[in-house]
Amino acid sequence: MKNLKKKIIENLNGSLSEEETALLEKAFDFAEQSHSEQKRQSGEPYINHPLRVALTISQMKLGINAIIAGILHDVVEDCNVPISKIRTEFNEEVAFLVNGLTKVNKIQYKGQKEDNIAEKENYRNMILAMAKDLRIIIIKLADRLDNMKTLWSLDPKVQTKKALETLEILAPLAYRLGMTDIGSQLEDLAFPYVFPEEYKLTRKILGKRREEQKEYINKLAPLTRRKLQENNIEPKEIKFRTKHLYSVWRKLQKEEMDIRRIYDLVAMRIIVTSVEECYATLGIIHQMWKPVPGRFKDYIALPKPNGYQSLHTTVFAENGRIVEIQIRTSQMDEEAEWGIAAHWIYSSFKKTDSYKKKKGFSPPKNFYWINQLRQWQKTFYKSEEFLNALKVDFFKNRIFVLTPKGDIIDLPDGATPIDFAYQIHTDIGNQATRALVNGKLVSLDYKLQSGEVVEIITKKGKRPSSSWLEFVKMNETRKRIQDALKGKNFI
């Protein structure tokens, strides 16, 4: 535990003021006292968990309040510390972050029997909508990362549930935020619980291939560097990208389970200074080693829809072994990491096209801020501007509420229980008499909030009231009420 604290402080690298250091120490003590008697299912002292979460957050330069929120993230839920106490002992922002996380954690993912892409997307959006601040999502991801590492200690039913949520909801969220490292870690931790047979099979098929390929490419690197230097190109870096296990599994499915058809288990990545050097490097590589026909891609001249740029080629290298080589500038390399977020959004929304038409859902337009954010994170993370950028109204105009069964319904902001009822079914709308929100009776013109569970009580044969027209939010609802009222006149 002492060690964890030390590492957190080390990560902050002397960037804290005296006041902030005092606050951090206070958070350590506060969490320690709150969790003092508690143990994790794994048998270790509870405090280790929030400290590990805080350690992950401390690597991201999100400021002191995010780290303190990480340290305190479980005291409200697990130690019954009121949020007001956190506000008075620490500050408004820490209280806001811890409170936000507590809210987000209340959402129960029911898991999908069928592959319902739109439903999963809605669930992710609901988390974003409720979070209101990117730091809350990041704490959530760091929390889950640590929980996944000790998942073995939990009940098998809980294991499957948590792992499924991790794989289907949280890992994609991490990718969306450009946190590829956490995303792939989460996927690989969840993989054996969600698909145990497939996991074993993938490991068996993979064998030692990744290690071998890495060793092999390791030997190619100095050779490549020398050849480039002979041609007056000084590569900034030659590195590797290893495909993580879950990604190997996905690719295997596309390649008819033939591991020999996956050429990028380990790819060589050459970073150079300019676009001209990218093409020159490609020419030199192709002179050294014959390209595999049909596998060259020029994403510099023709970037991917998300803006991703790089040259990809696959060659028969020394001893005829097949190797994927990616060539790009440093700038492209950095942007590729952010671009993954954009790419994810692009591909997922393409898949839900039909859903969009059906429900009038439109993808968020302002995701460019994620790129902006990463840029800022590097340059001036302490400034006001950066912290404000983290407070984002992800879905200004949409809310996401749940049916008692856990289905997510997305509605415009300001929607009422009556709008909700008509989205479920016209009959439910027409026959609505009362509404319960999180189990409590509310008026029919109540303004619903993201994350609320809404239940409509109906009475057979009841007709809608014309007074509803005055408060319902959606035109669609209004029209259905009017239709029903007209019908009434005919009777």
Looking at the Cβ atoms of 149 and 236, the one nearer to Mn ion is: 149
Catalytic machinery residues: 77-78
Residue ranges in contact with Mn ion by CB under 5 A: 74, 143
* Encoded tokens for 236: 């900034």
CA distance 287 to 268: 17
- Give yes or no for a contact between 456 and 421, defined as CB atoms under 8 angstroms apart: yes
What is the SS3 assignment for 241? strand
Looking at the Cβ atoms of 138 and 401, the one nearer to Mn ion is: 138
Looking at the Cβ atoms of 143 and 168, the one nearer to Mn ion is: 143
Looking at the Cβ atoms of 140 and 243, the one nearer to Mn ion is: 140
Q: Smallest distance from the beta carbon of 73 to Mn ion, in angstroms?
A: 6
* CB crowding 156-183: b at 16 or more within 10 Å, else e: eeebbbbbbbbbbbbbbbbbbbbbbebb
What is the SS3 assignment for 384? helix
CA distance 453 to 404: 6
H/E run at residue 456: strand 454-458
Q: Which residues pair with 266 in a beta bridge?
A: 242
- Give yes or no for a contact between 286 and 249, defined as CB atoms under 8 angstroms apart: no
- Give yes or no for a contact between 259 and 252, defined as CB atoms under 8 angstroms apart: yes
Looking at the Cβ atoms of 74 and 410, the one nearer to Mn ion is: 74
Q: Please, how many CA atoms are within 13 Å of residue 16, restricted to the half-sphere of its CB? A: 21
Q: Please, how many CA atoms are within 13 Å of residue 278, restricted to the half-sphere of its CB? A: 22
- Helical axes 417-424 vs 475-490, angle rounded to 10°: 70
Q: Smallest distance from the beta carbon of 194 to Mn ion, in angstroms?
A: 21
Residue located via tokens 């299912």: 41
Q: Smallest distance from the beta carbon of 145 to Mn ion, in angstroms?
A: 10
Looking at the Cβ atoms of 143 and 335, the one nearer to Mn ion is: 143
Q: Smallest distance from the beta carbon of 77 to Mn ion, in angstroms?
A: 8
Looking at the Cβ atoms of 48 and 313, the one nearer to Mn ion is: 48
CA distance 224 to 164: 42
DSSP state of 195: S
Q: Smallest distance from the beta carbon of 449 to Mn ion, in angstroms?
A: 24
Q: Smallest distance from the beta carbon of 91 to Mn ion, in angstroms?
A: 21
Query: What number of other Cβ atoms are within 10 A of residue 427's Cβ?
Result: 14
Q: Angle at Cα 18 formed by Cα 7 and Cα 55, nearest 5°?
A: 20
- Give yes or no for a contact between 315 and 292, defined as CB atoms under 8 angstroms apart: yes
Q: Smallest distance from the beta carbon of 219 to Mn ion, in angstroms?
A: 44
